[in-house]
Structure 1
C-alpha cells in the first residue's frame, strides 16, 4: 500500500492542564505553549495505526502516547516569525506527524520584564518590522530608540512648513491659505508616502547591494521626470501628473540616500565618515552649479526654449548620458565585503577552477542590474520543511535529510519538480550564521556544475556535501589571502523560519 498524501487534518480532544501528558518530556520548552486542537499528518506509512487497532481506542489523543510498535517523539521544532511553531513527531509505526503551537511570552521575573520592555511587546510586529531595524534591539546601540523618538516625533518642522506654504499664498482670506496647504498635501504629501513605504518595507536591502539600489534609484527618478515633462501637454491633469512625478522622485530618494550612505561608509576607510560626507557635498554642489550654468546657456539659445520637441530630445540625451555615467561610477566601486552576488561569483570560480578572483576583478564581474532572485541556479532561502520534503516519500526523505545535515546549520534540497532547471531550497537551523549561508551557496554551485552524474538525487546531495567538507576550508583560506573581509559577510540568515533539532533520528 502506498503512503498517504499530505495535510490530513484530524480532530484532537482538548486536555486539561492537570493531565499527565503535558508534563511529558515530549514538551521540553521553557515557554508556555498553546497547542491547537488539530493534528496535521505530514506523512504516514502504510502500517499507520489510524487504519486499525482495538475498537473504540483513540489513536491520536496525545502526541506523547506510546504505541505497541514504537514510541512517538519530537525530533525537531520549526519556528516562525509570527510566534507560532510546528513540532515534527516521529512515530516508528505511523511515520511523521506535526503539531502546531502558539508560544506565549513569560510575564514573571525582573529580567524577563526588562527584556520585554526593550523588545516593545506592546507594539505590533508589523509596526516593529516597518519602523525598527531587523533584529532590534540587538542590532543597534542602546541609545537608538531614544534618539529616534526625540528626533522624529518632533512635528514642529512639518507644521511650520505647512503654514509657510499657506502664508506664501495668502490673499487676505483663510480659504486661500487652507487651499495652498491642501495642494501641498496632495502633491508633496504623496511623495512623502513613497519615501515612508520604501524605508519601512525595503530598509533591510541596502546593506547587501547598495550598487543595485543606487542604480535603480536613478531609473525611478528618470521615470518621475517623464511625468513632469508630460504636464505641459496635459495641463488639465497637472495635479495627478505632478503628484505621480513627486511620488517617483520620492521613491528614488528613498532608495538613493541609504544606498549612498553605505557607499560613503565604504569610502571612509579611516573612520572619517563625516569628512567624506562633507567633501561629497562639495563635489555635488560644484557639479550642480556647473550643470545649472550649462542649462541656462542652452535655454537662452534663440528658438530653443520655445520648442517642446527640442527640449524633450535634449532632456532624453542628457538623461541617458547621466544613467550611463552613473552605471560606470558604480562599476568602479571595489567592495571587499561579500554579499550574495559576489559570493556566487567567488564560489562558482572555486568550484570550477579551485581559484577565486580578487576584489577588483570580482566587483567588475558583478552584474549591478541583475536581481539575484532571477539568477541561475535559483536559490530560495528560508523554505519550510513541509515544502521541501512534501510528497509520497516525505517520511524517508525527512529522516534522510536530518541525518545527512547533522553537522550543518542548514538543510538543502533540490526541487525535484524542476530537475531541468536547477532550483534549490534551503532552510536554516537555530544558530545558523552568515558562514552557514556561504556554505549552502558553495554546495548549491557544486550541484549546479556537476548535476546529472547520477539519477539518484540523494546520491548527488551526499556527494555535494562531501565535497563541501573537503574543499570549503581551502575556499575560506583563499578569501582571506585575496583580501576579502571574511569577518563581514553580508549574507543574512532569514528569520521567518528556523529549525530546532530536539532528537536524533
Structure 2
C-alpha cells in the first residue's frame, strides 16, 4: 500500500488542492486521448489511398506546417500565461478542440488533407504549449514544499495512465462506430467533458 501511495503522492507536505487537481486532470487526459485516437484514425484513413511517398510527405508536411505556424502565436502571446492564465487556457481549449474536429473531418475532404491537417496541427501545437504553461503554473502552486520535480513526476504518472485508458476507449469507439461522419458528431461531447474536467482541475490554482 505504501508503494502505491509513494507512486502517486509526493513526500512531505501535500497541497489541499493536489487530489482534486490530479483527479480531474486524470479524467481530462482520458477524454482528450480518446479524442486523439479518433482524430488520428480519421486522418490516417483520409490519406490511406495515396501512394506511400505522398502519404509520408503529407504526414510530415502537416507537422512542419504545424510547428512553424504556431511560433508567431507563441512569440506574441507567451507572456499572457502569467498575466491572464484563464484567458490563455480558454484560447488553448478552443485551439485544441478545433484541431480535433478538423482532423476528424478530413475523410470528408481528403483532397484538402494537407491544408486542413496543417492548420489543425498549428492549433494542436498552440494548445499543447498553452496547456503546458498552465500546468507548469499549477505545479508551481502545488509545490508548497519546493518539490516541483517530484510533483511533476507524480502528476505525470496519473496523466500517463489516463492517456493510455483514453486511447483504449478511443480504439473501442473506432471499432464500434467505424463511420467517420457519425464519430464527428461524438467529438463535441468529448470536447465539452474535456474542457469541464480541465477547468475543474485548475480551479483555485490559477
Scaled by the length of structure 1, the TM-score of the pair is: 0.29
Match of 1:259 among 129, 134, 146: 134
Match of 2:184 among 312, 315, 335: 312
Alpha-carbon distance between aligned partners in 2 of 1:312 and 1:185, rounded to the nearest angstrom:
24
Deviations 1:37-58 (A, max 9, x none): xxxxxxxxxxxxxxxxxxxxxx
Q: CA deviation at 1:310?
A: 2.6
Deviations 1:6-65 (A, max 9, x none): xxxxxxxxxxxxxxxxxxxxxxxxxxxxxxxxxxxxxxxxxxxxxxxxxxxxxxxxxxxx
Alpha-carbon distance between aligned partners in 2 of 1:239 and 1:213, rounded to the nearest angstrom:
27
Alpha-carbon distance between aligned partners in 2 of 1:185 and 1:220, rounded to the nearest angstrom:
21
Secondary structure of residue in 2 paired with 1:278: helix
Secondary structure of residue in 1 paired with 2:107: coil
Alpha-carbon distance between aligned partners in 2 of 1:262 and 1:312, rounded to the nearest angstrom:
33
Alpha-carbon distance between aligned partners in 1 of 2:91 and 2:188, rounded to the nearest angstrom:
17
Match of 2:75 among 187, 192, 200: 200
CA RMSD, 1 decimal: 2.3
Alpha-carbon distance between aligned partners in 2 of 1:254 and 1:194, rounded to the nearest angstrom:
13
Alpha-carbon distance between aligned partners in 2 of 1:201 and 1:314, rounded to the nearest angstrom:
34
Q: Is the 8 A contact 1:210 1:260 kept in 2?
A: no
Q: Please say if 1:268 is aligned against 2:143.
A: yes
Alpha-carbon distance between aligned partners in 1 of 2:180 and 2:163, rounded to the nearest angstrom:
24
Alpha-carbon distance between aligned partners in 2 of 1:180 and 1:295, rounded to the nearest angstrom:
23
Q: Which residue of 2 aligns with 1:461?
A: none
Alpha-carbon distance between aligned partners in 2 of 1:284 and 1:202, rounded to the nearest angstrom:
26
Structure 1 segments of 4+ aligned residues over 6 angstroms from their partners: none
- From the two aligned structures, give the one with the greater strand fraction: 1
Q: CA deviation at 1:272?
A: 0.5
Q: Is the 8 A contact 1:195 1:253 kept in 2?
A: no
Aligned residues: 155
**Which structure carries more relative contact order (alpha carbon 8 Å, separation 6+)?**
2
Alpha-carbon distance between aligned partners in 1 of 2:107 and 2:191, rounded to the nearest angstrom:
19
- From the two aligned structures, give the one with the greater helix fraction: 2
Match of 2:152 among 277, 296, 310: 277
Q: Is the 8 A contact 2:138 2:205 kept in 1?
A: no
5 Å matches for 1:38-53? none
5 Å matches for 1:386-401? none
Q: Please say if 1:215 is aligned against 2:90.
A: yes
Deviations 1:449-501 (A, max 9, x none): xxxxxxxxxxxxxxxxxxxxxxxxxxxxxxxxxxxxxxxxxxxxxxxxxxxxx
Q: CA deviation at 1:309?
A: 3.6
Secondary structure of residue in 1 paired with 2:108: coil
Alpha-carbon distance between aligned partners in 2 of 1:226 and 1:271, rounded to the nearest angstrom:
39
Q: Which residue of 2 aligns with 1:333?
A: 204
Deviations 1:401-457 (A, max 9, x none): xxxxxxxxxxxxxxxxxxxxxxxxxxxxxxxxxxxxxxxxxxxxxxxxxxxxxxxxx
**Runs of 5+ in structure 2 lacking a partner?**
1-51
Q: Which residue of 2 aligns with 1:234?
A: 109
Secondary structure of residue in 2 paired with 1:231: helix
Alpha-carbon distance between aligned partners in 1 of 2:59 and 2:76, rounded to the nearest angstrom:
25
5 Å matches for 1:399-414? none
Q: CA deviation at 1:182?
A: 5.5
Q: Please say if 1:248 is aligned against 2:118.
A: no
Q: CA deviation at 1:180?
A: 7.6
Alpha-carbon distance between aligned partners in 2 of 1:258 and 1:334, rounded to the nearest angstrom:
13
Q: CA deviation at 1:321?
A: 1.2
Secondary structure of residue in 2 paired with 1:224: helix
Q: Is the 8 A contact 2:104 2:180 kept in 1?
A: no
Q: Is the 8 A contact 1:190 1:247 kept in 2?
A: yes
Q: Which residue of 2 aligns with 1:292?
A: 167
Q: Which residue of 2 aligns with 1:24?
A: none
Q: CA deviation at 1:227?
A: 1.4
5 Å matches for 1:362-381? none
Alpha-carbon distance between aligned partners in 1 of 2:64 and 2:198, rounded to the nearest angstrom:
28
Shift in alpha-carbon separation, 1:226–1:183, aligned structure 2, 3 A = same
Q: CA deviation at 1:201?
A: 1.4
Match of 2:195 among 323, 330, 337: 323
